[in-house]
Structure 1
Amino acid sequence: MTSADERELRTASRRLALQFALIIVGLFVALGVVVFSVVAAGQAEAARKVLADASMVDSPHDAPRNLLVTAVGPDGSRESSPDLPEGLPDEQALAQVEQNGGSVSGEVEADGRRYLVETDVRNGRVVQIAYGLGEQQEELARLLVALVASGVIATVAAALVGLFLARRSIRPLADALSLQRRFVADAGHELRTPLTLLSTRAQLLRRHVVSTDADEEVRTGLDEIVDDSRALTEIVQDLLTAADPRQTAEAVEVDLAELAGAVARAAEGRAEERDVTIDVSPEPGSLVTGAPVSLRRMIVALIDNALDHARSHISVTVGPHRDSVLLTVQDDGPGFSEGVEDRAFDRFASARDAQTAEPHGRHYGLGLALVAEVVSRHHGTVDASNRPEGGAVVTVRLPKRQ
């Protein structure tokens, strides 16, 4: 495994560990909210029960030590528990009950502490009982600190455990990817060498033929061999780039209409062998941003797919449409099988029924999958459908160069 692969492994492990830690944090937050809410509700219920149990208290002398009582007689005389904090009694509640009767409950803050206060009429006197919530608030504060501390500890532990498990889980996959990249690189190197030799020999042969009185058809054929060998070399490099996501091809301005015309001209020989005509309808302004080799490979795959199934005619149209460029390839073949939208662009999927009358070799179901891959890398979309009059239509939509 190379140093770059090791860096990728470490980065992926950290991401998984971070995600695992975030999940633990989310679970702890949810659990903490539930626990805190349950404890707070229980304390509030306990405070209300204490006040309910003190329903017979109507004098400060009869009150337990944890209750503060204020009693107002009919003549306005008042008795209060000693050392009432500032803010008690709740004069507004006393006046309301004294005037309207009934009972008033609520919380009052006095000297920075919260009190649960209930005011009602008992034995002809207005009695107000206050229960301090300070201890409950302190318990809730201690619970909150404990939850936060345990959450931090659990998060750190989860991150460390997640990092360890992630590295152990990802390493086999990283080793497999590294082996795949080495295989692709080795295969690319082995392919580039004979392709370079083929291109060199073809160029030498072309120079020799140009200097002689050779037939024009031979010269044209040699020119096409040189162009095809160069295109094959570029395709190999593009495949290497696609196989390793760490590599990126340089994006340049590409005239998709011109590129489609060049690919169609290169396919004319194969089309003539099958008595198929290829018509190209280019429109100006069909400029996109991308890798020319990848886009050429995409168009080659589309035309090859159409040639494999067309009976007599293939139509290629390229033109701008709003903020996109549309490339449409149509043929008059049997069309796509039913349910094509679900699997037309899957690898090794046979999206169309083969023409048994004139088989053209085995189909591996990779052409449209490669098209979808190239389109995705160029931030476009592709879809397949059938023509009403018969035949298939593949439409590629790529962002227009701004």
Structure 2
Amino acid sequence: MNARDQTELKHAVLWLGLRFTTVIIVLFVVMGALVYSIVAAGTQASTSSSLASATRIDSPSDAPLGVFVAISTGGQVVLSRDVPRGLPDTAAIARVVASLREEQGNVTLEGRTYTVLTAYRNGRVIQAAVDRHESQEELSRLMVAMTIAAVVAASMAAALSVWMAQRAMKPMAESLALQRRFVADASHELRTPLTLLSTRVQLLRRRLDGSGPTPVNDDVREGVAQLVADAKMLTGILDDLLLSADPRETVDHGPVNLVTIADRATALAEPAAQQRAVQLTRSGSNEAVTVRGSEVALGRVFTALIANALDHAETNVQVQVGVHGKDAVIRIIDDGTGFAPGSQARAFDRFASARPLTGNPVTARHYGLGLALVAEIVALHNGKVVVEPGMAPKGAIVKVLLPLVQA
């Protein structure tokens, strides 16, 4: 995957992780609110039960632990031990004496809240009070514990969801990137042979229509042979692309002669060079330079490098094949604008154009795929491709090194 695909994958993984984490947080909030409500209702019910039991005792000394009791009989009030200052609530007692109906409410004294139940029982008024401080602290501790649990669960859910999403989406992203790459490669690779086919057919048609020199049988035979060769090359490129589209497929490489491939690629590119008014020459070794690889794939290397050189050349392109030590050396030399300083590192990236096109009006649009395809094919052949400065004040050299077949 290229940098753009990796960025898209990262964004998708983070988006899925964020959504999953949000769902976990919402579930924890709902669960926490439910638990808090149940605990708070239970505490309230327990407090009400304790107060109701306390209003049925006969003496303040019988008051349950944690409950403060006051019994008013005939205007005299008897209190249980340790009744907080401010209790009993005499106003509540007076209201119950007048109405003979019990009432319950909250009273705040010195920063503490008490729940107070005042009831009329058997000719006397009994008031029971419970300090809510402990129950409120328990609810606060429960809230803090649930908040911490929610934060920990959200953090773990975020990390786990990102990890799972990355594992789940990476094969899909790689498959999509492979599909995009195959479409881009097929489109780019088929441009040159289709252009050659179109040029040859147009020339042959002109001659057959009488707009050019009168054709002879040899001319027609040669033109048809070239069309057949172009069609065969298209078929080979398609087969090679289909194999490269599936990484599970493996291809057995055999010995191939780079000189023969270079001569064929130069001949195929000659019409395009003439159309651009560029002199295309093949130089270097005329003896066999044998490497192990795919003839079609290495033909794509020459085709892509020559097409790239023609796109940028002004007057001259050279195709050299030679030997240096244990390596076969391919050099494609042009006298164009050359590579900008510092651009050699990204010259073989997809959709990256490392130098501007010439002002030639017949130059086709540059997609930035040719050198990237060359780099991939050369890597599959255990080779190396580099960019060198031109021999003249301007221009560029793209050099490919491939291991020679040892005798």
Report what 1:391 is aligned to: 395
Report what 1:230 is aligned to: 232
- For residues 184 and 234 of structure 1, do their structure 2 counterparts lie closer, same or farther at Cα, with a shift above 3 Å needed? farther
In the alignment, is residue 261 of structure 1 matched against residue 298 of structure 2?
Answer: no
Give, in whole Å, the separation in 2 of the partners of 1:388 and 1:289: 30
Residue 359 of structure 1 and its aligned partner are, at CA, apart by 5.2
Report what 2:167 is aligned to: 170
Report what 2:300 is aligned to: 297
In the alignment, is residue 400 of structure 1 matched against residue 397 of structure 2?
Answer: no
Which segment is superposed worse, 314-323 or 382-391?
Answer: 382-391
- For residues 350 and 163 of structure 1, do their structure 2 counterparts lie closer, same or farther at Cα, with a shift above 3 Å needed? same
SS in 1 for 2:238: helix
Which segment is superposed worse, 275-284 or 261-270?
Answer: 275-284
- Counterpart of 2:251, as a letter, is A
Report what 2:280 is aligned to: 278
Residue 166 of structure 1 and its aligned partner are, at CA, apart by 6.5
- When normalised by structure 1's length, the TM-score is 0.50
Residue 364 of structure 1 and its aligned partner are, at CA, apart by 0.6
- Counterpart of 2:249, as a letter, is Q
- For residues 303 and 343 of structure 1, do their structure 2 counterparts lie closer, same or farther at Cα, with a shift above 3 Å needed? same
Report what 2:248 is aligned to: 246
Give, in whole Å, the separation in 1 of the partners of 2:175 and 2:302: 30
Report what 2:383 is aligned to: 380
Aligned sequence identity (%): 40
Give, in whole Å, the separation in 1 of the partners of 2:343 and 2:272: 27
In the alignment, is residue 310 of structure 1 matched against residue 313 of structure 2?
Answer: yes
Gaps in structure 1 of 5+ consecutive residues:
1-161
Give, in whole Å, the separation in 2 of the partners of 1:369 and 1:263: 19
Give, in whole Å, the separation in 2 of the partners of 1:391 and 1:183: 32
SS in 2 for 1:175: helix
Give, in whole Å, the separation in 1 of the partners of 2:396 and 2:185: 34
The 5 A counterparts of 1:76-225 are 169-178=166-175, 215-225=217-227
In the alignment, is residue 335 of structure 1 matched against residue 338 of structure 2?
Answer: yes
Report what 2:352 is aligned to: 349
SS in 2 for 1:329: strand
Deviations 1:233-287 (A, max 9, x none): 1112212222322112220101011110110011111111112121112422411
- For residues 241 and 350 of structure 1, do their structure 2 counterparts lie closer, same or farther at Cα, with a shift above 3 Å needed? same
Deviations 1:5-43 (A, max 9, x none): xxxxxxxxxxxxxxxxxxxxxxxxxxxxxxxxxxxxxxx
- For residues 186 and 310 of structure 1, do their structure 2 counterparts lie closer, same or farther at Cα, with a shift above 3 Å needed? closer
Give, in whole Å, the separation in 2 of the partners of 1:186 and 1:353: 25
Gaps in structure 2 of 5+ consecutive residues:
1-158, 209-214
Deviations 1:135-154 (A, max 9, x none): xxxxxxxxxxxxxxxxxxxx
- Counterpart of 1:339, as a letter, is G
- Counterpart of 2:396, as a letter, is A
Residue 187 of structure 1 and its aligned partner are, at CA, apart by 11
Residue 357 of structure 1 and its aligned partner are, at CA, apart by 4.8
Structure 1 vs Structure 2 CA RMSD: 3.5
Residue 185 of structure 1 and its aligned partner are, at CA, apart by 8.6
User: In 2, are the aligned partners of 1:340 and 1:385 still within 8 Å (CA)?
Assistant: no
Figure out how many residues of one structure are paired with residues of the other and give that number: 226
- Counterpart of 1:247, as a letter, is E
User: In 2, are the aligned partners of 1:252 and 1:290 still within 8 Å (CA)?
Assistant: yes
- For residues 219 and 391 of structure 1, do their structure 2 counterparts lie closer, same or farther at Cα, with a shift above 3 Å needed? same
Residue 181 of structure 1 and its aligned partner are, at CA, apart by 6.0
User: In 2, are the aligned partners of 1:188 and 1:237 still within 8 Å (CA)?
Assistant: no
- Counterpart of 2:226, as a letter, is E
Deviations 1:330-366 (A, max 9, x none): 0111111221222111111111121125351210111
Deviations 1:285-313 (A, max 9, x none): 41100111110001100000111111111
User: In 2, are the aligned partners of 1:188 and 1:240 still within 8 Å (CA)?
Assistant: no
Report what 2:373 is aligned to: 370
User: In 2, are the aligned partners of 1:281 and 1:316 still within 8 Å (CA)?
Assistant: yes
Which segment is superposed worse, 235-244 or 363-372?
Answer: 235-244
SS in 2 for 1:267: helix
User: In 2, are the aligned partners of 1:184 and 1:240 still within 8 Å (CA)?
Assistant: no
- For residues 269 and 188 of structure 1, do their structure 2 counterparts lie closer, same or farther at Cα, with a shift above 3 Å needed? closer
Give, in whole Å, the separation in 1 of the partners of 2:173 and 2:384: 30
- For residues 230 and 184 of structure 1, do their structure 2 counterparts lie closer, same or farther at Cα, with a shift above 3 Å needed? farther
SS in 2 for 1:394: strand
Give, in whole Å, the separation in 2 of the partners of 1:187 and 1:278: 27
